[in-house]
A and B are shown apart, each in its own frame.
Chain A
Amino acid sequence: EAGVTQFPSHSVIEKGQTVTLRCDPISGHDNLYWYRRVMGKEIKFLLHFVKESKQDESGMPNNRFLAERTGGTYSTLKVQPAELEDSGVYFCASSLGLGWEQFFGPGTRLTVL
């Protein structure tokens, strides 16, 4: 069974540019989560989808971040315009049910220069 996949593995962009990260959850997992780890800090929750609906986006840093999950399958996280402090590793996770174990993707490393 395929796990959670993320694309790209690594993205290097300049400050002010736009980047879109993609996450494909495990098939059949309605719950999809985005997390971020900035250098030297712990992994922090960003938001949670159940199917196509945002359940909790309390961790989104600011309105430069936009997450979507049209159709309730894959999700995208867009950062526009990117700032230096957005650099980090963005993880996606999915779970079968609410409160069930979350399975993580390999992460996308974002570097903003």
Chain B
Amino acid sequence: EDKVVQSPLSLVVHEGDTVTLNCSYEVTNFRSLLWYKQEKKAPTFLFMLTSSGIEKKSGRLSSILDKKELFSILNITATQTGDSAVYLCASGGYQKVTFGTGTKLQVIP
């Protein structure tokens, strides 16, 4: 059965800190690794990674995939209170996407 494991389950940091969220996966027919941010309602898309070693960046967020170790990390630098959310990692095959349980990040002033 496909499996995605995220760590830590939750994290509390102060504004300005840098955080690293981890995601490991075991998926048949792997196609992509996806990161989403979920605040109140819909998970919002952050990154899709398909190739190892290529960092994707968007502002203070960046992510990288290691297909050999079946692992991805999401980095957030200079965290702000608005980064508080649940960060979901998901592994996509050609059809369905398998989600991890998420990492709950709380950024306090």
Footprint of B on A, CB under 8 Å? 3-4, 33, 35, 41-45, 48, 55-56, 58-59, 91, 93, 98-99, 101-107
Contacts and interface: CB of A to CB of B under 8 A. Distances in A.
A45 B42 contact: no
- B contact patch SS: strand
Q: Which of A4, A45, A98, A106 gathers the greatest number of chain B CB atoms within 10 Å?
A: A45
A102 B97 contact: yes
Contacts, number: 56
A56 B96 contact: yes
Interface residues of B, number: 24
Q: Which of A43, A44, A59, A91 gathers the greatest number of chain B CB atoms within 10 Å?
A: A43
B43 A45 contact: no
B95 interface: yes
A42 B96 contact: no
B102 A45 contact: no
Contacts of B44: 104
